[in-house]
Amino acid sequence: MRADAQRNYEMLVEHAKLAFAEHGVDASLDAIARRAGVASGTLYRHFPTRLDLVEATLSHQIADLIGLGHHLLLPTHDPFTALSTWLHATLHHALTYRGLSATLLNTTLDHTPETPSPWHKELLDTTTHLLNRARAANTITTEATDTEILKTVTAIAWATRNAPDQADRLLTLLLNGLRYGR
């Protein structure tokens, strides 16, 4: 990549982080480009879709989350606790920016024509594995599908986007509903 292009890329990610943190993932792309000191066309060249830009600002955090997921899949962990830890972490991730929960729902869990990003696929896969382990250990109901459970987690993130302190309590409620023999 040419040096000026590299610099533009970094400036865009940096200002996107600020804008997303302040206004949520629906922040004006035009304003991001302006504050990063580039024209709008340059933003679109580097990030064809808004999702590309969102993912770029979250790349480290996503890597961490996926790392945690792999860790929790080790057989040393109690299946239900591992599932619980994972869903809480996913919930917090979805709360990073206002509107990120909607992005997650749309791109991972609703039938989108586009291929889901590797990030989203990994999220769903990890959840599936942890749920399967919890089901195999006979600790949770089989009443709800993987997708439905992950949907509910994003829904909780969405519902508590202006009061994130309530998020964990609502997820605990969901886990109570899932759990057998409480």
Contact range with a copy of itself by CB under 8 A, out of 26-34, 68-76, 123-131, 172-180? 172-180
CA distance 20 to 26: 7
Q: Which is nearer to DNA, 44 or 124 (CB)?
A: 44
CA distance 62 to 86: 13
CA distance 91 to 160: 10
User: Does position 114 bind a copy of itself by CB under 8 A?
Assistant: no
Q: Which does 156 bind (CB under 5 to 8 A by kind): DNA, a copy of itself, none?
A: a copy of itself
Residue with the two structure tokens 């896969």: 125
* Token code pair at residue 5: 């292009």
Query: Torsion-angle region of residue 24: left (phi > 0), alpha (psi -120 to 50) or beta?
Result: left
Smallest distance, a copy of itself to C-beta of residue 115, A: 18
Does residue 21 contact residue 15 with C-beta atoms inside 8 Å? no
Q: Which does 11 bind (CB under 5 to 8 A by kind): DNA, a copy of itself, none?
A: none
Does residue 83 contact residue 130 with C-beta atoms inside 8 Å? yes
Q: Which residues bind DNA (CB under 7 A)?
A: 1-2, 4-5, 8, 26-31, 37-42, 44-46, 48-50
Q: Which residues bind a copy of itself (CB under 8 A)?
A: 105, 109-111, 141, 143-144, 148, 151-152, 154-156, 158-160, 162-163, 166, 169-170, 172-178, 182
